[in-house]
Amino acid sequence: MKSPIELLNAHFDGRVLTAEEARVLSQWAATDPANARTVVELGIIHSQVDYRLSVARFIDEIGDSEDPAIQRSIESAMESIEIGSYRDKSLPLATVVSKPKRQSERLRGWVTAAVAASLLFAFVSVLRSSTTDQDASPEVAAATPEGQSSPQEAPLAAVVATVTEAIGVESTGVAPFRRGKYVRGGEALELKEGVLALTTADGSEVVVEGPASLVFEDGQRIALKAGRLSARVDEEATGLVVTTPTATVVDLGTEFGVGIGPHLETSVAVYDGVVELYGASSDGLANSPSKRITAGRAGQVNADGTLNWAVQTLPNDREFIRPDEIASLRKARAGSAEARQQTSFYALQRTRGLVAFQSFDLPSDGSAYSVSFRGSPPRTTASPTLVDDLQAKHLYSSGALRVGEAENAFLDIDNSSDAPFARAKLLTDRGLVGRSGAELWLAWKTRVIDPERIGDHAGLSLMFGDQSRTQEPLFIGYSGGRGLLGIVSNVGSRAVELELDANPETFAVDPVGLDDRTHQWVLQLIFGERGDKIAVWCDVPLDAIRETRPQAETVNANVMFDRLRMGVSAGASDWVFDDFVMATSIDAISDVDRLQSDDAAGAR
Amino acid sequence: MAEREWSGESERRCDFATLWAESYDKLRTYVRIFVPLLHDADDVLQDTAVAIAKDFDKYDPSRPFLEWAIGIARNRVLQYYRKRGRDRRMIFDVDTISKIEGSLMELEPHIDSYEESLEFCLQKLPDRARRLLELRYTCCLNATEIAEQLKMTVQSVYTRLSQVRVTLRDCVRRQTRESGGTAL
């Protein structure tokens, strides 16, 4: 365990502390006032060093706004603050902008701009929520972006939203989308592609995914004609209404996504709070049938406007690009590998059919970038050892888990009712994976450090308790000291052993021995009423699995599990395990692999 | 009448601008203690500015502005963690947050001299330590990226950054004592 000061600094540097580390740090800071003071002192150093050293970065960010409107907005705000201070307070600007006499000229300019930017944002946000264009202040009028007349000059519709980010946006409209662009009531937004983030006059955040066509009718009503959007409604501003050709979605204080399908059917996903979903088949909202959709649920209105009464559990939390994803997209675009990893992970979570993922993220000891596995780090009989990734083509901070001689490591599956396994209807009544009629695919990688040291066994087990054999319906690896890869299917006290056949197209079994190469494993489980079908492939390209005969195939009377065990017997070499992906289809496994490759390609 | 209202509104905004500018770096420090990711911290600070501007008429000028503003910043920090859900947790409990706030308020009168000393101490840093800070703050790299650049392990980057900050803290304490300021 690191010292509390090291933990605090690691926290400052973005490392996600484990729950235990956080508890230790928090307790330490609370036990002695000197410790709390140390937290503040190191916080000042962290913040101030960043302040002083990040001038170039800040200038880059400002420079990013080639849009002269943003530059002018900052200048205008500064001007108004300066004039206002002289006029009303008789204060020199120096007093207003945070101790410039003691700071270098370069820093002074930057601090001034930073304070001004924050002030401008605050002023404009407050004004938008409390006033109309007609009574906007001179300060705000001065900050109106280029090409948009001041409200006094022309009777334009009220500003109902502001573009806060435009990522890869191509529009069919005349004006390009840029940060700071105002959207006026009734203005049509047509996106061919890209992601557009906006803040409405009420402070709600809206993200539009292209291609899309929509109109902000006013600050509280959006007509979505095609495409997808998500919205996070400010706590104090409930009542955002999104209409589609077939439905009306009324926010009741929430975060939600709305999408229009190819036949104009409307789907709604609720991430937080509640929405009321109306079908558009009858006249008038008050007379339309409606369904209340709560957090974690999805609703649908059919193409003919009839309400689908069956509310579904959300397959994942990232089906829509949500407002909190925008900051990561922005940073990824600026070249941050960490942000690119985060956005790749969001995209990965959107993979249809994905139920679990673990790539052993190094900085967080495996807790970050993981789906459906409980606990962090993995539960082990010794201390867990995370090592470098088995292959370079993965999320950039991911590693791998090394399991040593006579050690077991467990990945416990999250079988709670709102977790992906439950949502995918893979769980039995006892909460174990293995519901009849379901299909599950599992992919993972392994490498043996020293293939000469065999011992008794090593490999992966599917288990419903920690006891070998009795709570271990399936094992994939080698056993019995033979050093040949295969599977062991335990049924009660009986074990059925099957060797992998390197060439299943021929009659004779061509056994697969140990070596020190990295191997890609794929397991298919089809859970049936009378037996569960098991098929295993080793080193078969993922996109060729469907056309390739399994290298081992058997049937087990009852495979069920709630944990994966990576085990190495006494006398055996260390094994490295990596990239566990579980999904309801092989296509989803391939998609995840592709996303990881894309991320790695981007990182290079 | 309308003109008088406008004038009052303008004055209120200037009061806000003055107080916000005076407290900006302290509030930024406060937010960065709890929200380590730079862009997230900036977003929380921005939200705080908006909330303070919205509620500025509720501010009692007889009370310290920083204390009132910290209360609003605290709510925004907690709101940020509620929205982040499982992927990032607030690492300090409520009792500890309160103690950290108490310390910040105690140190507040000395923070200006602290920052002056910090500038001096930064100049005295050895080149390697300075380079590390530049990679972290100017280039905005994370520990893994720095480790790749400097051919170090990620853990040793965390350790080294921690050592550099503690060195700066000790230097600032010495400087502050030598210049006759209140010992921090």
Backbone angles phi, psi at A415, to 5 degrees: -105, 25
CA B67 to chain A, closest CA, distance in angstroms equals 15
HEC-encoded secondary structure of A58-117:
HHHHHHHCCCHHHHHHHHHHHHHHHHHHHHHHCCCHHHHCCCHHHCCHHHHHHHHHHHHH
Instruction: Please count the other Cβ atoms lying within 10 Å of the Cβ belonging to residue A409.
Output: 23
Q: Cβ contact (<8 Å) for A36 and B102?
A: yes
CB–CB of B18 and A49 under 8 A?
Answer: no
pLDDT level of residue A576 (50, 70, 90 thresholds): very high
Would you put residue A365 in left (φ > 0), alpha (ψ -120 to 50) or beta? left
Task: Find the residue in B nearest to A329 (Cα).
Answer: B39
- Listed in order, strand segments (DSSP E) in A89-204 are 159-171, 182-184, 188-200
Contacts of B112 in chain A (CB under 8 A): 99, 102
Collect all residues of chain A within an 8 Å Cβ-Cβ radius of residue B115. Answer: 44, 48, 99, 102
Please name the residue ranges forming H helices in A309-418. 326-333, 337-349
pLDDT band at A601 (very low <50, low <70, confident <90, very high): low
A320 is written with which tokens? 């829509």
d(CA A293, CA A312): 9
pLDDT digits (tens, 9 = 90+) for A226-258: 999 999 987 666 789 999 999 999 998 889 999
- Closest alpha carbon within chain B to A46: B165
B33-53: b (≥16 Cβ within 10 Å) or e: bbbbbbbbbbbbbbbbbbbbb
B70 pLDDT band (50/70/90 cuts)?
A: very high
Q: pLDDT at residue B56 above 90?
A: no
Report pLDDT for A500.
95
**pLDDT exceeds 50 at position B174:** yes
**For A272-286, how does the pLDDT look when each residue is reduced to its tens digit (9 = 90+)?**
999 999 988 655 555
8 A C-beta contact, residue A7 and residue B161: no
| H-run or E-run covering B48 | helix B38-54
Q: Which helix (H) or strand (E) holds A50?
A: helix A33-53
Provide, as residue numbers in chain A, all residues whose Cβ is less than 8 Å from the Cβ of B52: 122
B114 and B176 Cβ atoms separated by less than 8 Å:
yes
pLDDT of A213 strictly over 60? yes
Contact (Cβ atoms closer than 8 angstroms) between residue B100 and residue B33: yes
Give Cα separations from A518 to A93, A400, A444, A543 (angstroms).
64, 12, 10, 18
d(Cα A130, Cα B12) in Å, to the nearest integer? 15
The predicted model gives A442-456 an average pLDDT of 95
pLDDT at A142: 31
Contact assignment for A96 to B36 by CB distance below 8 Å: no
For domain B110-178, the CATH architecture is Orthogonal Bundle (1.10)
Show the domains of chain A with their CATH numbers: 4-53 (no CATH), 60-142 (no CATH), 159-313 (2.60.120.1440), 335-603 (2.60.120.200)
Task: Tell me the ipTM for this assembly.
Answer: 0.92
Out of B52, B91, B133, whose CB is closest to A26?
A: B91
Q: Is A61 helix (H, G, I), strand (E, B) or coil?
A: helix
- Mean per-residue pLDDT, A329-334: 75
The helix or strand, by DSSP H or E, that contains position A320, with its residue range, turns out to be: none
∠ CA A250-A254-A256, rounded to 5°: 75
**pLDDT tops 80 at residue B155:** yes
Give dist(CA A200, CA A219) in Å, integer.
6
Cα(A95)–Cα(A105) distance, integer angstroms = 15
For residue B108, give the amino acid letter.
Answer: E
Cβ atoms A411, A373 nearer than 8 A: yes
Residues of chain B with CATH 1.10.1740.10: 2-91
Residues on chain B touching A14 (C-beta within 8 angstroms): 36-37, 142-143
Q: Does the pLDDT at position A62 exceed 70? A: no
Domain with CATH 1.10.10.10 in chain B: 110-178
Lowest-confidence segment of A3-7, A101-105, A286-290, A592-596 by average pLDDT = A101-105
Q: How far is A26 from chain B (nearest CA, A)?
A: 5
Query: The tokens of A485 are what?
Result: 């890869």
pLDDT category at A152 given cuts 50, 70, 90 is: very low
On chain B, the residues whose CB falls within 8 A of the CB of A89 are 14, 18
Query: Which two tokens mark A302?
Result: 């059919």
Give residue A44's pLDDT. 93
User: Which chain A residue has the Cα nearest residue B139?
Assistant: A57
**Minimal CA separation from B106 to chain A, in Å:** 9
Q: Over 60: is that where the pLDDT of A481 sits?
A: yes
Q: Distance, in angstroms, between B179 CA and closest chain A CA?
A: 15
pLDDT per residue as tens digits for the range A182-203 = 788 888 999 999 999 988 877 7
Its CATH class, for the domain covering B2-91, is mainly alpha
